[in-house]
């Protein structure tokens, strides 16, 4: 009976939740998109992204990166082929459920798209307000998210008073505050200097380490190479090639480095030393952060209880 109840509760949370791991979470099966003017944005596009992967989507301007993202978000429909997101054929999602589907995916862009007349807190809270979340839940999760982004001291500031890097972190906070399983970043560092770009990529990597699937669309090849993640390359908006060499690279490097553990540790230490900016608190998904906060409070209460008992025994 308990299992049945849990299954029912899980279904109530949303149409797109699935507790399975290590499964394809985004699948394009021979997808084509041809516009009325005859332009083919994508052609014979087939690839899979596993749950929990960090993948770069690369190609020059006009290669079809934005079209691919629009297809995932149901802002465009394919001319041919099938797209599956979270095990659902997106073509079969009813119009009444499209907004709910889109809210299950976090998206943030290089132009931030913040609301100028709202504070940092209000900008992030807005993403939860449209889902009907309670004021208590909004305050708790927004405060946690801003803390994770190192923005607690900026909660009452307006976007115009923030630096470009801070505005991008607000946009990132807004995109993850609802705890999406998929995060899409469209040219997230396009308007940032190298220092802030490195910080944003570090945050994305942290978010991914807690299980969120991350898809980053970019034209910066050096960034993808430094991260060492799998790359899907769009070729002139037509053919798509999955960089198998890039995907196999981490495994090959691991095999080459096994004989010397000291050598494998040194690069990692150097990378940490070279990070230009450290956030106040490590980034995690909101659910993880909430649970961690709860655990900390329980530990503190238990410690206070033990100290009280010890004091009573000493008095006796």
| pLDDT tens per residue across span 152-196 | 999 999 999 999 889 999 999 999 999 999 999 998 887 788 888
Confidence of residue 313 (pLDDT cuts 50, 70, 90): low
CA dist., res. 19 & res. 21, Å (int): 6
pLDDT at 44 over 80: yes
Token pair recorded at residue 30: 């021979």
In this prediction, residue 143 carries a pLDDT of 95
Phi and psi (nearest 5°) for 256?
A: -70, -25
In this prediction, residue 42 carries a pLDDT of 86
Angle between helices 164-176 and 135-148 (to 10 degrees): 140
pLDDT at 142 over 90: yes
113-127, 136-150, 287-301: which has the minimum mean pLDDT? Answer: 287-301
User: How many Cα neighbours within 13 Å face the side chain of 119?
Assistant: 11
pLDDT at 33 over 70: yes
pLDDT in tens, 208-267: 998 999 999 988 888 888 888 999 988 765 555 565 444 433 333 333 333 344 443 444
| Residue with more model confidence, 282 or 3 | 3
The answer to whether the CB of 226 falls within 8 A of the CB of 246 is no
Token pair recorded at residue 91: 């073509």
Q: What mean pLDDT is predicted for residues 62-83? A: 91
Q: What mean pLDDT is predicted for residues 42-70? A: 88
Token pair recorded at residue 201: 């990529």
In this prediction, residue 242 carries a pLDDT of 63
The backbone region for 290, taken as left when phi is positive above 0, alpha when psi lies in -120 to 50, beta otherwise, is: alpha
Mean pLDDT value across the chain: 76
Confidence of residue 118 (pLDDT cuts 50, 70, 90): very high
The answer to whether the CB of 71 falls within 8 A of the CB of 41 is no
Phi and psi (nearest 5°) for 139?
A: -60, -45
| Nearest alpha carbon to residue 57 among 163, 154, 185 | 185
pLDDT in tens, 268-301: 444 433 333 333 333 344 454 444 455 556 666 6
Percentage of residues in the chain having pLDDT higher than 90: 43
Q: Where are the alpha helices (DSSP H) in the chain?
A: 2-13, 65-72, 98-103, 120-129, 135-148, 164-176, 194-209, 221-227, 244-257, 261-274, 286-315
In this prediction, residue 108 carries a pLDDT of 85
Q: What mean pLDDT is predicted for residues 47-63? A: 88
pLDDT at 76 over 90: yes
pLDDT at 38 over 50: yes
- 3-state SS track over 256-312: HHCCCHHHHHHHHHHHHHHCCCCCCCCCCCHHHHHHHHHHHHHHHHHHHHHHHHHHH
In this prediction, residue 263 carries a pLDDT of 42
pLDDT at 306 over 70: yes
Q: What mean pLDDT is predicted for residues 52-76? A: 89
In this prediction, residue 316 carries a pLDDT of 57
The answer to whether the CB of 124 falls within 8 A of the CB of 177 is yes
């Amino acid at each position: 009976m308990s299992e049945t109840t849990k299954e029912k509760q899980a279904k109530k949370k949303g149409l797109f939740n699935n507790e399975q791991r290590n499964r394809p979470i985004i699948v394009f099966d021979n997808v084509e998109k041809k516009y009325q003017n005859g332009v083919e944005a994508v052609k014979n596009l087939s690839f899979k992204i596993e749950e929990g992967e960090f993948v770069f989507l690369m190609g020059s301007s006009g290669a079809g990166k934005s079209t691919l993202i629009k297809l995932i978000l149901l802002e465009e429909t394919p001319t041919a082929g099938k797209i599956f997101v979270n095990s659902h054929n997106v073509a079969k999602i009813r119009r009444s459920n499209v907004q709910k589907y889109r809210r299950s995916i976090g998206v943030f862009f290089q132009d931030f798209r913040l609301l100028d007349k709202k504070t940092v807190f209000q900008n992030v809270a807005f993403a939860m307000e449209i889902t009907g979340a309670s004021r208590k839940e909004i305050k708790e999760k927004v405060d946690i998210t801003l803390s994770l982004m190192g923005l607690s001291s900026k909660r009452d500031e307006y976007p115009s008073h923030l630096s470009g890097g801070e505005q991008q972190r607000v946009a990132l906070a807004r995109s993850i505050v609802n705890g999406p399983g998929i995060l899409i970043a469209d040219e997230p560092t396009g308007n940032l200097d190298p220092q802030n770009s490195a910080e944003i990529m570090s945050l994305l990597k942290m978010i991914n380490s807690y299980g969120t699937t991350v898809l980053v669309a970019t034209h910066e090849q050096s960034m993808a190479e430094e991260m060492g993640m799998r790359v899907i390359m769009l070729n002139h908006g037509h053919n798509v090639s999955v960089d198998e060499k890039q995907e196999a690279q981490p495994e090959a490097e691991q095999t080459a480095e096994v004989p010397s553990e000291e050598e494998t540790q040194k690069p990692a230490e150097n990378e940490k030393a070279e990070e230009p900016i450290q956030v106040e608190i490590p980034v995690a998904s909101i659910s993880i952060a909430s649970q961690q906060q709860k655990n900390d409070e329980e530990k503190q209460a238990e410690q206070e209880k033990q100290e009280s008992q010890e004091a009573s025994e000493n008095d006796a």
